[in-house]
């Protein structure tokens, strides 16, 4: 098939198989061009096929030489339709890791379920014995609770008041006014159930019960705070409530791990273009301005730079971790630098449809978005017929 991007709203329904392999290769190259890292012996990455999870798996394996088990929920191809980008990326990772002599195993299924937890535990036992790092990097719109069976949907809404904000319509390149009604109590509850900390804790309990968590293990989950501009929709909205819950769960998990000298941490990462962030109202416009400012200041980072820095400067620096007052590692330090935020806020104030391309790197955002699906990458022949079902 000759595969072209088919974009619907904030998702692309196709993925380019060769492009996805290149996405993985480029991140492996990034890591291999830097010094080898101290790191885990074996890592479990939950949400390992795209975004921050894939970068964490690549840094663990190709930076620190770790065996990895990755869990994700991705769609395989059929004769008419490409697989999802994460499916191709995860397969490319497995192939590259095997070729490099690194233990690797991937589990494709619903990480919230007891069945996938059990399958993953079996894979850890048989492939690597135990894990000393657990990265929790899920971003999901829904979760079926493994005990009650209730299906929770997460929503991206403000709490208490209607949200009105500038936003970019990336189909028409216009600055528009977004308006979102506040969430109900039940929507808040459901979002916390999907993206809060309950499932992270269930994973750690299950791994501990099964005896596949090494002593002195580290677990880290990813969070986001962001600027004042997106505060009503992000940090003070439904997703922010879920992130607060996730961040509070770190204490309970830390207590579970204390007897085996393990540690639980939250890493607050910077805003990047991923499938998840594209879905958050106003965030694509914010990221387009932010990236322009950060590139101008020589501060630009993607998932792979962030994860490399997380390992090198925080998790495995050899010294004590340096958390903020609330106990969180702050990988968003450059994004939140006062000079960066002041420039973003000034541009945000001024941005209109007329000056959008001057004040925001909208073209760069769109290219980064298509790259997530294996398009717009150098060195790929997008007119070539490719096998969409390589298995």
Catalytic residues: 234
SS3 string of the chain?
Answer: CCCCCCEECCEECCCCHHHHHHHHHHHHHHHHCCCCCCCCCEEEEECCCCHHHHHHHHHHHHHHCCEEEEEECCCCCCCCCCCCHHHHHHHHHHHHHHHCCCCEEEEECCCCCHHHHHHHHHHHHHHHCCEEEEEECCCCCEEECCCCCCEEECCCCCCCCCEEEEEEECCCCEEEEEEECCCCHHHHHHHHHHHCCHHHHHHHHHHHHHCCEEEEEEEEEEECCCCHHHCCCCCCCHHHHHHHHHHHHHHHHHHHHHHHCCEEEEEECCCCCCCCHHHCCCHHHHHHHHHHHHHHCCCCCCHHHHHHHHHHHHHCCCCCCCCCCCCCEECCCCCCCHHHHHHHHHHHHHCCCCCHHHHCCHHHHHHHHHHCCCCCCCCCCCCCCCCCCCC
User: Least Å distance between CB 351 and ligand NAD?
Assistant: 20
Name which of 116 and 217 has its Cβ closer to ligand NAD.
116
Name which of 39 and 226 has its Cβ closer to ligand NAD.
226
Q: Which two tokens stand for residue 153?
A: 């949907």
User: Least Å distance between CB 219 and ligand NAD?
Assistant: 13
Name which of 101 and 369 has its Cβ closer to ligand NAD.
369
Name which of 135 and 180 has its Cβ closer to ligand NAD.
135
- Pairwise CA distance, residues 44 & 68, whole Å: 6
User: Least Å distance between CB 139 and ligand NAD?
Assistant: 4
User: Least Å distance between CB 208 and ligand NAD?
Assistant: 20
User: Least Å distance between CB 142 and ligand NAD?
Assistant: 8
User: Least Å distance between CB 107 and ligand NAD?
Assistant: 8
Residue nearest to ligand NAD (CB): 51
Contacting positions for ligand NAD (CB under 6 A): 47-53, 71-74, 86, 110-112, 137-140, 222-224, 269, 271-272, 274-277
Name which of 18 and 267 has its Cβ closer to ligand NAD.
267
Our CA angle for 210, 57, 194, nearest 5°, is 65
Sign of CA dihedral 308, 273, 200, 196: positive
Name which of 36 and 283 has its Cβ closer to ligand NAD.
283
SS3 string of 286-336?
Answer: HHHHHHHHHHHCCCCCCHHHHHHHHHHHHHCCCCCCCCCCCCCEECCCCCC
User: Least Å distance between CB 294 and ligand NAD?
Assistant: 13
Name which of 50 and 190 has its Cβ closer to ligand NAD.
50
């Amino acid at each position: 098939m000759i595969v072209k991007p088919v974009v619907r709203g904030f998702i692309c329904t196709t993925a380019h198989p060769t492009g996805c392999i290149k996405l993985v290769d480029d991140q492996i190259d990034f890591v291999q061009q830097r010094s080898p890292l101290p790191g885990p012996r074996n890592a479990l990455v939950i949400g390992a096929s795209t975004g921050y999870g894939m970068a964490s798996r690549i840094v663990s394996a190709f930076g620190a030489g770790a065996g990895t088990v990755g869990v994700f929920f991705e769609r395989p191809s059929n004769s008419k339709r490409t697989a999802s980008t994460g499916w191709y990326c995860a397969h490319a990772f497995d192939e590259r890791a095997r070729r490099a002599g690194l233990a690797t195993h991937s589990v494709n299924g619903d990480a919230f379920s007891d069945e996938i937890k059990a399958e993953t535990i079996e894979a850890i036992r048989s492939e690597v014995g135990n894990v000393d790092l657990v990265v929790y990097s899920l971003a999901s719109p829904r979760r079926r609770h493994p005990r009650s069976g209730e299906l929770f949907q997460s929503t991206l809404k403000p709490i208490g008041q209607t949200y009105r904000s500038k936003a970019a319509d990336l189909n028409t390149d216009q600055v528009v006014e977004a308006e979102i009604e506040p969430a109900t109590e039940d929507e808040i509850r459901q979002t916390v159930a999907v993206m809060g900390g309950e499932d992270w804790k269930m994973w750690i309990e299950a791994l501990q019960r099964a005896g596949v968590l090494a002593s002195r293990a580290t677990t880290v989950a990813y969070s986001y705070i962001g600027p004042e501009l997106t505060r009503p929709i992000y940090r003070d909205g439904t997703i922010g409530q879920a992130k607060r819950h996730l961040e509070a769960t770190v204490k309970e998990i830390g207590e579970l791990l204390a007897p085996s000298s393990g540690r639980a941490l939250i890493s607050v990462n910077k805003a990047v273009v991923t499938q998840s962030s594209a879905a958050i109202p106003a965030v694509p416009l914010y990221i387009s301005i932010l990236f322009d400012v950060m590139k101008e200041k020589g501060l630009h980072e993607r998932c792979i730079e962030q994860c490399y820095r997380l390992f090198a400067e925080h998790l495995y620096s050899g010294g004590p971790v340096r958390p903020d007052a609330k106990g969180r590692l702050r990988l968003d330090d450059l994004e939140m630098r006062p000079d960066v935020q002041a420039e973003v806020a000034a541009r945000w104030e001024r941005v209109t449809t007329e000056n959008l391309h001057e004040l925001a790197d909208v073209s760069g955002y769109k290219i980064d978005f298509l790259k997530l699906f294996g398009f717009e990458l150098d060195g790929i022949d997008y007119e070539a017929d490719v096998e969409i079902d390589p298995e």
